[in-house]
């Protein structure tokens, strides 16, 4: 379903991949998988680099329109956050396309409650 819905607005292989990675993270969170499981799955299945911390991302990050430089950063904000407010603040603090970052990060997080 992620592929079908993303194809309308993100008709590019990387856009589809980003949607599938986000949907996978949400599914794993909904089914009570821990953050380590989510991190490992996203790295293994989508080859996203989740090794950087938000503190490492922040200095050089800017508005990037590609999923490969938005989805991993949003998932990293989710992984680092301790609660809903912390995830939102962390995603916003990265700058760039922060409305997209917060949307992705908060949707994964909201499925953990």
Whole-number Å distance between alpha carbons of 75 and 38: 9
User: Between 67 and 97, whose confidence is greater?
Assistant: 97
Give the CA distances from residue 4 to residues 41, 52, 86, 112, in Å, rounded to whole numbers and listed in that order: 21, 30, 32, 25
Q: Does residue 81 have a pLDDT over 90? A: yes
In a domain? residue 69: yes
Q: Does residue 23 have a pLDDT over 60? A: yes
Task: Please tell me the total count of domains within the chain.
Answer: 1
Among 5-9, 14-18, 77-81, which range has the highest average pLDDT? 77-81
Enclosing domain of residue 29: 2-50+65-110
Whole-number Å distance between alpha carbons of 49 and 108: 18
Q: What is the pLDDT of residues 34-75, one digit of tens each?
A: 999 999 999 999 999 999 999 999 999 988 777 788 999 999
The pLDDT value recorded for residue 32 is 92
DSSP per-residue string spanning 43-89? HHHH-----S-HHHHGGG-----SGGGTHHHHHHHHHH-SSHHHHHH
In a domain? residue 100: yes
In a domain? residue 11: yes
In a domain? residue 59: no
* Assessment of whether the complete model's pTM goes beyond 0.85: yes
């Amino acid at each position: 379903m992620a592929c079908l819905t993303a194809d309308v607005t993100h008709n590019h292989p990387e856009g589809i991949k980003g949607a599938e990675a986000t949907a996978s993270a949400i599914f794993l969170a909904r089914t009570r998988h821990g953050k380590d499981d989510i991190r490992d799955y996203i790295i293994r299945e989508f080859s996203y680099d989740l090794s950087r911390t938000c503190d490492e991302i922040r200095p050089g990050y800017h508005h990037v329109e590609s999923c490969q430089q938005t989805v991993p950063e949003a998932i990293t904000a989710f992984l680092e956050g301790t609660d809903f407010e912390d995830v939102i603040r962390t995603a916003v603090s990265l700058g760039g396309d922060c409305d997209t970052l917060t949307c992705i990060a908060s949707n994964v997080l909201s499925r953990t409650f």
